Structure 1
């Protein structure tokens, strides 16, 4: 326990205490906009179909344009990209509120929703990229890099618990427009604050290398594509669980419990994710991936036989313990094997895979729940978990960070090269032994 606390102290010393706080509040609008847009349009138009279309275009915008924003951040730095995206997203979100309240037709509302999704600032993936760059700059050991992934994963989980909760509370007390208006304000204030934070200097961008005529970009290792598929299936589990929980609570006559049940799963997931820093180094990334996906399969099966409220709480809460380890492992694997100059793009692609899987499964499992009851939706979650485990079992995972992979380039703001760069407090740390490297060391990192 003491060692885990010490590791997280190193992480906070690397980032500064303000960056995790700012990035957390900047993530909230992402979690609020999807749910908030559906509630708002359903309230103002009286049509669930219209609400679903607007929510779907918002998700589609994020899935399609998320990797592009990540690539721009890799090339030109996080600061200008996040500043521009936050401004556009705040305006688009405000326009969505105004359009819904003004009674716009479905097509223009859907177009605004697409712009809102396309301009999401991707604070989660970019914050991971920035924190990892800070860790590499300080020559931090793999245990500390792992703790970075755990902390970022926990912030994501907590934001996706509190975001929808805030939307639901605002809708209950006032109106869904208040929730979306709050999301616009949050992204404008905290997205800008994240972009302007001094640590943005370590992600100032790496110009695209010139290639000979006809030459193609280097391909990612196969494990990267396997991880993206695994994340899409994780998203499918999220979407199927949402549909199943909503269906069962409605069937039991307590639809208001759905959000609380889902939030309980998120809280447990976040707690377990934060605790991953305590795992010893011998639990490598490959093993953690297999254990997490295996646990998700085993713990999701009872959903098929859950028919009352309190067993639902129990099963869903316990299932949450498998989610954060899988997500953190997937992002850590991505960071390990991709080129540093393409890290933000790869992190954004991973996040988009999660969103795509969730949106697709929510649509499919919702129809199954209508036809076959909650078990029909939960069957999608169990099937997705089984496929996740299969991918983890057959995918070859490198046991250590490739030796040819250097830490992310620091174009500007590197204290060793740029006298004007902000000076951060970086504690002295060991770089990790050769034995650690060979074993895929890193209490938090190597096992994800």
Structure 2
């Protein structure tokens, strides 16, 4: 198969799940990328305190990191439909409560509690969508060779959501108000996220209470060390995101164009999304473990110009916009590779949990990177913040390099199929 033929395998995805699923899984992950910025703008705008707004966004992120794996485990145990519906309803209710508390001058603890609840209950559309693709492979409705293509679609969808979500919040907040932006996230949650939860593909991943093989000793065990390695690498990647965003924001504020920070950072997501589409063109001889390692090494290398120019304050924001294209290139391939490897680490009845664990690892890393780099930038300027991002890429490289031999035996479709039900 030529590399262009590999790219054409995207056309096989609708035949497995239908165009409706591709649409709801793409749009359904946008609300998850709106809440953090929306809560920051809502609280800081209403109170005039950027510190309180930042604290609200941080609590939201921590809630999301803690809640993700629990939502995934609930999806494995109870099924995607009930878990998805409960998660969407709780998330929407928490966001509405956040708006009510802020507008009603409620105590700070009430605002922070609502933000934590909203983050905790974020519908895990991306991870659960990946779990459904895995189930398709195990039910032989998608060949193992096409699974990486599905993960490329998922990675690209994530990047577009990370670009579109904050941009949508910014536009709505500017045209109407931050409150309207948060309520728009509520509307999307109650429509598209609910549509994802009840989509027929939800029946692909049977709940453990219905799984006759739950206690079957032939079911393969969870491969803990590979999960830990993948999660550690993605913590580094998340830390990179948070550090670079904080550094770019400092440069934008210093230049008197704070609103441009989101546009510059969005270039990173667009560059990554385009690279994600092209992942299927990589040769099969370039193994997944080597791709994971090479992705982080390339991320560190391609970040050097951005770190030097951005950190030393040379050039304007347009220069940052050009340089940030480079490190965007390996980001989606890293994510695609990590989630593809994750499919082999657990039996299919636990796949939702492991996918949410990796997503939470990125969120945790982001929170660490944003906190550390933001503090350093406030005290010493942008260079330490950019260097923190470079250090995070180096951390990911070290994890991927040390763990390469542990990850090398893993390949898509390696976990035997367990019993379950077809689409219901």
Tell me the TM-score range normalised by the shorter chain: over 0.9
Name 1:365's counterpart in structure 2: 373
Residues 388-418 of structure 1: CA deviation (Å, up to 9, x unaligned): 11111110213343987213542x335xxxx
**CA RMSD in angstroms, aligned pairs only:** 1.9
Name 1:413's counterpart in structure 2: 422
Taking the TM superposition and a 5 Å limit, the aligned residue runs for 1:51-90 are: 51-90=53-92
Match of 1:387, SS state, is helix
Contact map agreement 1:79 1:204 (CA 8 A) in 2 = no
Residues 262-287 of structure 1: CA deviation (Å, up to 9, x unaligned): 11110110010011111121111011
Contact map agreement 2:10 2:149 (CA 8 A) in 1 = yes
Q: Which of the residues 224, 229, 234 maps onto 1:231?
A: 234
Summarize the Cα distance change of 1:263–1:6 in structure 2 as closer, same or farther, 3 Å threshold. same
Residues 164-200 of structure 1: CA deviation (Å, up to 9, x unaligned): 0000001111101111000001011111111111111
Cα deviation for residue 132 of structure 1 reads: 2.1
Name 1:392's counterpart in structure 2: 400
Cα deviation for residue 2 of structure 1 reads: 4.3
Name 1:259's counterpart in structure 2: 262
Q: Which of the residues 22, 31, 34 maps onto 2:33?
A: 31
Is the counterpart of residue 240 in structure 1 residue 250 in structure 2? no
Summarize the Cα distance change of 1:402–1:172 in structure 2 as closer, same or farther, 3 Å threshold. closer
Contact map agreement 2:279 2:333 (CA 8 A) in 1 = yes
Cα deviation for residue 303 of structure 1 reads: 2.4
Taking the TM superposition and a 5 Å limit, the aligned residue runs for 1:279-290 are: 279-290=282-293
Structure 2 distance, partners of 1:82, 1:284, is 34
Name 1:425's counterpart in structure 2: none
Name 1:325's counterpart in structure 2: 333
Name 2:99's counterpart in structure 1: 97
Contact map agreement 2:36 2:61 (CA 8 A) in 1 = yes
Name 1:189's counterpart in structure 2: 191
- TM-score under structure 1 length normalisation: 0.88
Cα deviation for residue 12 of structure 1 reads: 1.9
Is the counterpart of residue 144 in structure 1 residue 146 in structure 2? yes
Structure 2 distance, partners of 1:59, 1:220, is 27
Q: Which of the residues 15, 18, 21 maps onto 1:19?
A: 21
Match of 1:27, SS state, is coil
- TM-score under structure 2 length normalisation: 0.93
Q: Which of the residues 340, 346, 371 maps onto 1:338?
A: 346
Structure 1 distance, partners of 2:215, 2:206, is 19
Summarize the Cα distance change of 1:278–1:52 in structure 2 as closer, same or farther, 3 Å threshold. same
Structure 1 gap segments, 5+ residues each: 415-420, 422-448
Residues 323-374 of structure 1: CA deviation (Å, up to 9, x unaligned): 1111111111111222222110011011011001101110110011112211
Structure 2 distance, partners of 1:394, 1:231, is 15
Contact map agreement 1:239 1:357 (CA 8 A) in 2 = yes
Name 1:108's counterpart in structure 2: 110
Contact map agreement 1:247 1:374 (CA 8 A) in 2 = yes
Deviates more, 1:235-244 or 1:139-148: 139-148
Contact map agreement 2:341 2:412 (CA 8 A) in 1 = no
Structure 2 distance, partners of 1:330, 1:404, is 15
Summarize the Cα distance change of 1:211–1:11 in structure 2 as closer, same or farther, 3 Å threshold. closer
Deviates more, 1:230-239 or 1:217-226: 217-226
Contact map agreement 2:75 2:83 (CA 8 A) in 1 = yes
Q: How many residues align?
A: 410
Contact map agreement 2:60 2:116 (CA 8 A) in 1 = yes
